[in-house]
């Protein structure tokens, strides 16, 4: 029997996995570093938590995650043309002693079994609209393109400085990055605009990680983003996590075989709700596994971490994925 790590590599390279990769099982995910300690994430039900960028976030009960607060009093960038007046990147350079806690956590990970995975959120695009508010951000791509590019470059430079530190001290095997690029039916910006504004930044960032020993880049975007897959491949993404059904995953698998792996196929909203049942979960898992097959696909809810909003759903999904492995890997 392959280790979780080996089975992932066989799956994403079109090899010979002996079972489905079961959601996040190969990834030992770590978020805590001296840099991220400056921006604690709100807990479920917690409101008005300020991060190191000056963004206020809340996680209201009944919602799938923490979101920025964007009434007029809390928007950080009031005028994108003057973004430098509002934005200061968090501190990145810390003495080696400040990294000892994170190093110790990484050293506890069995790297024969798991990928030691650094998690970071929000990503480059998300940080722009966290700072600005989403509708103002999207309008600014048209009305203030030079200022938007400057802000994107500034955020990219911060992430590159952070990448330098984590590769120096932690040496992760995988990098898991959150940056939603669309709604359930479309991308936020056109592919041409994405290529112009965001692709160069991601090529720099993911290229840096890959050149410094990171073996797997996993990018979360639980949205429609099928039109961006060629750019995902170009920037070095190995696994697109959060792929929703609207992307027509079977078609993507045919088109991009062995170039990228799709993790998802099960919309969280279809299984993770008040009143969910094991039968509903089993039906969705079976459909996803049968439609998408055994290679370059990881069955998973679209949720961006190994968790669920309602108790027991994540575990129910894992149970049914194991059941489908017994059916499809004989």
Q: Which residues fall within 8 angstroms of residue 257, CB to CB, at 6 or more apart?
A: 14, 295, 296
d(Cα 233, Cα 182) in Å, to the nearest integer? 17
d(Cα 101, Cα 140) in Å, to the nearest integer? 40
| pLDDT at 60 (0 to 100) | 87
Q: Where are the domains of the chain?
A: 4-328
Q: Mind listing the pLDDT tens digit for each residue in 272-322?
A: 999 999 999 999 999 999 999 999 999 999 999 999 989 999 999 999 999
| Residue 122 three-state SS | coil
Residue that has been written with the tokens 């938007």 in this structure:
148
d(Cα 167, Cα 178) in Å, to the nearest integer? 18
| Integer angstrom CA distances of residue 11 from 18, 26, 177, 242, 266 | 9, 12, 20, 17, 18
> Which of the residue ranges 48-62, 156-170, 231-245, 282-296 would you say has the lowest mean pLDDT?
48-62
Query: Please, are residues 56 and 50 in contact by the beta-carbon 8 Å criterion?
Result: yes
What is the arithmetic mean of pLDDT over 173-195?
97
DSSP string, 221-258: --S--GGGHHHHHHHT-SEEEEE-GGG-HHHHHHHTTT
List strands edge to edge, sheet with 56-58. Answer: 49-50, 56-58, 67-68
Question: And the tokens for 78?
Answer: 């009031």
Q: Mind listing the pLDDT tens digit for each residue in 130-151?
A: 999 999 999 999 999 999 999 9
Does residue 40 carry a pLDDT above 90? Answer: no
Angle between helices 124-132 and 145-169 (to 10 degrees): 130
Question: And the tokens for 313?
Answer: 């759903």
| pLDDT at 123 (0 to 100) | 96
Query: Please, are residues 166 and 172 in contact by the beta-carbon 8 Å criterion?
Result: yes
Q: Please report which confidence band the pLDDT of residue 64 belongs to, taking 50, 70 and 90 as the band edges.
A: confident
Topology at the third CATH level for domain 4-328: TIM Barrel (3.20.20)
Residue that has been written with the tokens 């994430």 in this structure:
41
Q: Mind listing the pLDDT tens digit for each residue in 222-276?
A: 999 999 999 999 999 999 999 999 999 999 999 999 999 999 999 999 999 999 9
Q: Please report which confidence band the pLDDT of residue 63 belongs to, taking 50, 70 and 90 as the band edges.
A: confident
Neighbouring-strand partners of residue 217: 175
Does residue 9 carry a pLDDT above 90? Answer: yes
What is the arithmetic mean of pLDDT over 207-234?
98
d(Cα 216, Cα 32) in Å, to the nearest integer? 19
What is the arithmetic mean of pLDDT over 200-212?
98
Does residue 30 carry a pLDDT above 80? Answer: yes
Q: Please report which confidence band the pLDDT of residue 61 belongs to, taking 50, 70 and 90 as the band edges.
A: confident
Q: What is the CA radius of gyration of the chain?
A: 20
| Residue 57 three-state SS | strand
Q: What is the mean pLDDT of the chain?
A: 96
E strand spans, the chain: 27-30, 49-50, 56-58, 67-68, 115-120, 174-178, 216-220, 239-243, 261-266, 297-301
What is the arithmetic mean of pLDDT over 110-120?
97
d(Cα 252, Cα 169) in Å, to the nearest integer? 37
Neighbouring-strand partners of residue 240: 219, 262
């Amino acid at each position: 029997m392959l280790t979780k790590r080996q089975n992932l590599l066989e799956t994403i390279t079109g090899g010979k996995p002996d079972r489905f990769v079961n959601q996040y099982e190969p990834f030992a995910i770590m978020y805590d570093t001296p840099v991220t300690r400056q921006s604690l994430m709100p807990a479920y039900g917690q409101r008005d938590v300020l991060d190191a960028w000056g963004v206020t976030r809340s996680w209201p009960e009944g919602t799938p995650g923490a979101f920025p607060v964007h009434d007029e009093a809390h928007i950080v960038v009031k005028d994108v043309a003057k973004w430098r007046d509002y934005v200061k990147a968090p501190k990145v350079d810390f003495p080696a002693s400040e990294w000892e806690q994170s190093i110790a956590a990484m050293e506890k990970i069995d790297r024969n079994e798991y990928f030691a995975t650094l998690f970071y959120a929000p990503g480059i695009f998300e940080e722009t609209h966290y700072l600005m508010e989403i509708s103002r951000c999207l309008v600014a791509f048209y009305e203030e393109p030079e200022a938007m590019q400057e802000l994107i470059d500034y955020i990219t430079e911060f992430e590159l400085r952070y990448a330098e530190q984590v590769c120096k001290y932690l040496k992760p095997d995988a990098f898991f990055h959150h940056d939603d690029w669309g709604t359930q039916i479309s991308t936020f910006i056109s592919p041409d605009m994405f290529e112009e504004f965001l692709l160069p930044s991601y090529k720099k960032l993911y290229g840096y990680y890959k050149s410094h020993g990171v073996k797997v880049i996993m990018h979360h975007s639980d949205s429609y983003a099928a039109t961006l897959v060629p750019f995902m491949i170009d920037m070095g993404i190995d696994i697109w996590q959060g792929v929703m059904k609207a992307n027509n995953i079977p078609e993507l698998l045919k088109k991009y075989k062995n170039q990228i792996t799709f993790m998802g196929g099960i919309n969280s909203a279809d299984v993770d709700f008040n009143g969910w049942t094991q039968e509903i979960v089993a039906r969705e898992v079976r459909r996803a596994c049968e439609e998408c097959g055994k290679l370059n696909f990881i069955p998973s809810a679209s949720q961006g971490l190994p968790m669920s909003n309602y108790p027991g759903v994540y575990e129910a999904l894992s149970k049914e994925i194991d059941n489908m492995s017994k059916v499809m890997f004989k």
